[in-house]
Structure 1
Amino acid sequence: MPSSAASSTGRAHTPVTSVDSSDGPRPGAAPSPARRAAGGGRGALLILAAASLWGTTGTAASFAPAAASPLSIGAVTMGAGGLLTLLLAGRSALRVLRAGGGQLWWALLGGLAVAVYPLAFYTSMARAGVATGTVITIGCSPVFAALLERLLHGTRLTLRWLAATLSAGAGCALLTLTAHGGTTVGDDLPGGVALALLAGACYAVFTCYGARVIRAGHSSRAAMGALFGLGALVLLPVLAATGGPLLTDPRGLAVGAYLAVVPMGLAYVLFGAGLARVTAGSATTLSLFEPVVAAVLGVAVVGERLGGWAWAGTGLVLLGLLVLTVLTVPVRSRKRTAAG
């Protein structure tokens, strides 16, 4: 979930599948508990790697031209980056779109969420302030994702997930709200909060529907390519309309290229591979590692300073993620009965 938070200075349900070592699960027999746990642990590491790359977005954006709008930065990140993700997936993404039926609808819903997410997120920060928009977006997405998984295919909401999410969410709030000594409130707080909630819901939607496409038998690269390729169809025109100051400056072009290739293209390949191995609710909780990386880079690269409360928030985020990663995060969905 790319953001400029702490360092921004300027599934019809299918049975559990075996874990393929290359690009995600393929239909087959259910793995042993040991192998499922190992796959969950590897999936958690892949999500954390993706979140680490997302955490570089704010530092990279700080080098963009001052006239570049947050909207254009969001559009270049997930618009140009989405097109790159589609190209990397190649024909496998087209197979998702040609599958028809439920799979096509999942891809369309996920693609729509991909398109709305950065527009809502970056506008929420402009209206409600960077800290407020970021905290609400990042903090609510694990809740939306877990509720969606519960509603769509009965994934259990465990006490471990709840404890990890509460710890990481509280830490994220502390870190973001105190990183600059307090919140910076925009001129439309209610509108900004509403847009942040929309952004968090969109992030949960494309995570959940991306997972459904994967568990229907497609590779994670194909699923991400299809969803983000569809999102790019909406975001690239937005970039064309708003990206003048970003795309006409050599430094802006360099920033845009980095955002599209690394925090978007590479990160979402990693995210998709991790999503094939963990639940969407756990994936969104693990992605709360992003503001920790953003804060560290803000201190090390941008020259920001963090107080005691911000470091305490960092500790809470790490504690919550430790609960998930050390105990592993296997995909555990309750099977629906065929009859009745």
Structure 2
Amino acid sequence: MDKQTVGMLQVVAGAVCWGSLGVLGAALNRLSFEGAEVAALRIVIAAALLLAALPYFRPYLRGLTLRQLPMLAVQSFIGMLGMSLLYFAAVARVGSSLAVALLYTAPVWSLIFARVLLGEGITRGQAVLTVVAAAGVGLTMTGGAAVDAVGIAAGLGSGICYALYGVLGKRAMAGNPPMRVFFTSIGCSALVLLLMPDTWQAFGKLLGQAWPAWLSALALALVGTVAAFALFVKGLEKMPAARASVFTVFEPLTAVLLAALLLGERLGGLQYAGVVLIVAAAVLNALPRRALR
């Protein structure tokens, strides 16, 4: 098996792992955990796992200076903490399928923020994709009583945070290897969460739960966070980033499939069409820029 094929499989596996976040979060919602509590369990347990693997991360942390910490911390608070809190709030209110579709508006927000913050241009093709994604969001809101505005806003907010994570990452990555950025993203957010009452309440609830809750919480951190990022980064080492981005389409597809099979979530026809438009816009946006002129 050639190197690029291995890289592709690793990226796909990482996307599938990320796709499990919604259904795992929804499973915890059904066990009385709120969205903020699910986010706290994910990040704090992931931080504990990273500390357990500190000998592996230590080489990546060498050379980290106080001057680099502010940008890494901002990226963590927006892209990891903010995205997780809003995403799991959306999962709790509108379900895993719609939440991941709204999260996947991130590439469109990235275009906007790259223009505003980094001065990058937007082609006509990319502008069209922005309109397509916006139409997709509109279609996801056709579920009547099944969809609430707060859940939609939380889902869009998670996409905005995720986009900022990537845009700010261009600056944070300057002089910082990906594994260092990942470690500080989890670590800084976990430190903030340990100061919040919701975190201790979440772990207090977890202590009184049976093994399905423990398994879901551990899978959130291990499968949906640590393994997902590690697989994606390893895949990026073997193939161009633009091509790798196309294969992240398996994230929303996995989320929708798992939600249907394991949670019995069903969307309306127009809502499924909206999901397709959002995902299509994201995939086309990942293609080489010359294809979008």
Check whether TM > 0.5.
yes
Partner of residue 52, structure 1: 16
For 1:118, give the aligned amino acid.
S
Q: Is the 8 A contact 1:135 1:173 kept in 2?
A: no
**C-alpha distance in 1 between matches for 2:120 and 2:11:** 19
Q: Is 2:261 the counterpart of 1:296?
A: no
Q: Structure 1 residues 210, 243: CA separation in 2 closer, same or farther (over 3 Å shift)? A: same
Q: Structure 1 residues 317, 152: CA separation in 2 closer, same or farther (over 3 Å shift)? A: closer
For 2:164, give the aligned amino acid.
V
**C-alpha distance in 2 between matches for 1:194 and 1:315:** 19
Partner of residue 61, structure 2: 94
Q: Is the 8 A contact 2:11 2:247 kept in 1?
A: yes
Structure 1 residue 253: Cα displacement = 0.6
Partner of residue 218, structure 1: 176
Q: Report Cα offsets for 1:233-264 as digits up to 9, x if no partner.
A: 12345422333223432211110001111111
Q: Is 2:281 the counterpart of 1:320?
A: yes
**C-alpha distance in 2 between matches for 1:109 and 1:80:** 21
Partner of residue 31, structure 2: 66
**C-alpha distance in 2 between matches for 1:120 and 1:322:** 23
SS of residue matched to 2:121: coil
For 2:223, give the aligned amino acid.
V
**Structure 1 stretch displaced more, 111-120 or 85-94:** 85-94
Q: Which of 291, 309, 312 is the equivalent residue of 2:270? A: 309
**C-alpha distance in 2 between matches for 1:117 and 1:136:** 14
Q: Structure 1 residues 48, 168: CA separation in 2 closer, same or farther (over 3 Å shift)? A: farther
Q: Is the 8 A contact 1:139 1:172 kept in 2?
A: no
Partner of residue 227, structure 1: 185
Q: Is the 8 A contact 1:145 1:208 kept in 2?
A: yes
Q: Is 2:150 the counterpart of 1:184?
A: no
Q: Say what the alpha-carbon RMSD is for the aligned residues.
A: 4.0
Q: Is the 8 A contact 1:77 1:256 kept in 2?
A: yes
Q: Is the 8 A contact 2:107 2:163 kept in 1?
A: yes
Q: Structure 1 residues 270, 324: CA separation in 2 closer, same or farther (over 3 Å shift)? A: farther
SS of residue matched to 1:257: helix
For 1:219, give the aligned amino acid.
P
Q: Is the 8 A contact 1:288 1:317 kept in 2?
A: no
Q: Structure 1 residues 307, 200: CA separation in 2 closer, same or farther (over 3 Å shift)? A: closer
Partner of residue 6, structure 1: none
**C-alpha distance in 1 between matches for 2:113 and 2:261:** 38
State the identity %: 28
Partner of residue 109, structure 1: 74
**C-alpha distance in 2 between matches for 1:298 and 1:253:** 20
**C-alpha distance in 1 between matches for 2:27 and 2:176:** 38
For 1:115, give the aligned amino acid.
L
The structure whose residues are more often helix, as a share, is 2
Q: Which of 141, 154, 158 is the equivalent residue of 2:106? A: 141
**C-alpha distance in 1 between matches for 2:116 and 2:90:** 27
**C-alpha distance in 2 between matches for 1:265 and 1:157:** 33
Q: Structure 1 residues 193, 321: CA separation in 2 closer, same or farther (over 3 Å shift)? A: closer
What 5-or-longer segments of structure 2 have no aligned partner?
none
Partner of residue 335, structure 1: none
**C-alpha distance in 2 between matches for 1:54 and 1:305:** 20
**C-alpha distance in 1 between matches for 2:59 and 2:94:** 40
Structure 1 residue 56: Cα displacement = 1.6
Partner of residue 204, structure 1: 163
Q: Structure 1 residues 57, 309: CA separation in 2 closer, same or farther (over 3 Å shift)? A: same
Q: Is the 8 A contact 1:83 1:228 kept in 2?
A: no
Q: Structure 1 residues 61, 120: CA separation in 2 closer, same or farther (over 3 Å shift)? A: closer
Alignment of 1:13-92 (within 5 A): 49-64=13-28, 66-85=31-50, 87=53, 90-92=57-59
For 2:126, give the aligned amino acid.
W
Provide the TM-score with structure 1 as the length reference.
0.64
**C-alpha distance in 1 between matches for 2:252 and 2:144:** 16
**C-alpha distance in 1 between matches for 2:167 and 2:228:** 17
Q: Is the 8 A contact 1:123 1:195 kept in 2?
A: yes
**C-alpha distance in 1 between matches for 2:186 and 2:201:** 20
**C-alpha distance in 2 between matches for 1:307 and 1:193:** 16
